[in-house]
Amino acid sequence: TRHQRGDTHPLTLEEILDETQHLDIGLKQKQWLMSEALVNNPKIEVIDGKYAFKPKYNLKDKKALLRLLDQHDQRGLGGILLEDIEEGLPNSQKAVK
């Protein structure tokens, strides 16, 4: 996905629809997306009328991942789902190895 490649800038609804090849949806569906679906999605952040993916852990690099894992260990919080790491760390496969 865009976020996993390090492309984290917010998009307008039209840009999202273009990237997902859903430009043919109706006005009612667009209204629902803007007024309910996107704004109430816990993984979406609204920034100046644009939408950005908001991962559970926003990690910049391998060092940040190691810091997060150490903090979880120190606090006895247990493990972290690989999926959550992959969502929040660009090029995560390289860092996880």
25: domain CATH number is 1.10.10.10
Whether 7 and 47 share a structural domain = yes
**3-state DSSP assignment of residue 47:** strand
pLDDT of residue 88: 85
Range of the domain at 44: 3-53
Whether 77 and 39 share a structural domain = no
Q: Into how many domains does the chain fold?
A: 2
Write the pLDDT tens digit of every residue in 26-77. 999 999 999 999 999 999 999 999 999 898 998 888 899 999 999 999 999 9
pLDDT value at 1 more than 70: no
pLDDT value at 7 more than 80: no
